[in-house]
């Protein structure tokens, strides 16, 4: 391989670091494909719960937060930090309405992000340190 000529560094031949110099080898998945429906106090989410989906779903879910008791993530493929923030906010609103927020399902990314943000199993930021 020959160097592209854009990199001034001689440390990393034969190619340079800028992404513009390398051909794309994969495409990112379509973002924001999540959907939501509420039935009997349960929020059923499907798809990928990422930033785009969280932004799109928030207005719809905000108006229904008072009816929620349970978050069903069984059909969610993965979540990112924005998705976890959305879920944590919904769980906080469920608790503020005097109910225990319950969760089912464990999509990719949820466990790692909950650990990183030190969230209790009910997605509570304010849980006692030993509640994990």
Q: What is the domain range of residue 79?
A: 32-121
Sorting pLDDT into bands at 50, 70 and 90, what band is 28?
very low
* Residue with the two structure tokens 């990719």: 108
Gap between the Cα atoms of 52 and 64, Å rounded? 19
Q: What's the number of domains the chain is made of? A: 1
Q: What is the mean pLDDT of residues 42-55?
A: 96
In a domain, 41, yes or no: yes
Q: What is the mean pLDDT of residues 120-125?
A: 85
Whole-prediction pTM value? Answer: 0.72
Between 24 and 102, name the one with better pLDDT: 102
Sorting pLDDT into bands at 50, 70 and 90, what band is 5?
low
In a domain, 132, yes or no: no
In a domain, 56, yes or no: yes
In a domain, 86, yes or no: yes
49 pLDDT above the threshold of 50: yes
Q: What is the pLDDT at residue 15?
A: 52
In a domain, 40, yes or no: yes
We report the CATH number of the domain holding residue 71 as: 3.30.750.24
In a domain, 15, yes or no: no
pLDDT digits (tens, 9 = 90+) for 65-87: 899 999 999 999 999 999 999 99
In a domain, 114, yes or no: yes
Q: What is the pLDDT at residue 63?
A: 87
Of 32, 114, 103, 38, the C-alpha closest to 73 is 103
In a domain, 83, yes or no: yes
Lowest mean pLDDT among 2-16, 43-57, 83-97: 2-16
Of 74, 128, 65, the C-alpha closest to 99 is 65
């Amino acid at each position: 391989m020959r160097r592209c000529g854009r990199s001034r560094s001689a440390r990393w031949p034969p190619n340079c670091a800028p992404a513009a110099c390398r051909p794309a080898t994969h495409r990112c998945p379509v973002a924001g494909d999540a959907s939501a429906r509420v039935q009997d106090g349960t929020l059923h989410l499907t798809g990928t719960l990422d930033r785009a989906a969280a932004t799109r779903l928030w207005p719809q879910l905000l108006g229904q937060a008072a009816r929620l008791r349970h978050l069903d993530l069984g059909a969610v493929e993965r979540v990112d930090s924005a998705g976890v923030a959305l879920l944590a906010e919904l769980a906080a609103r469920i608790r503020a309405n005097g109910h225990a927020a319950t969760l089912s399902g464990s999509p990719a990314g949820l466990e790692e992000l909950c650990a990183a943000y030190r969230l209790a199993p009910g997605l509570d930021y304010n849980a006692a340190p030993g509640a994990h």
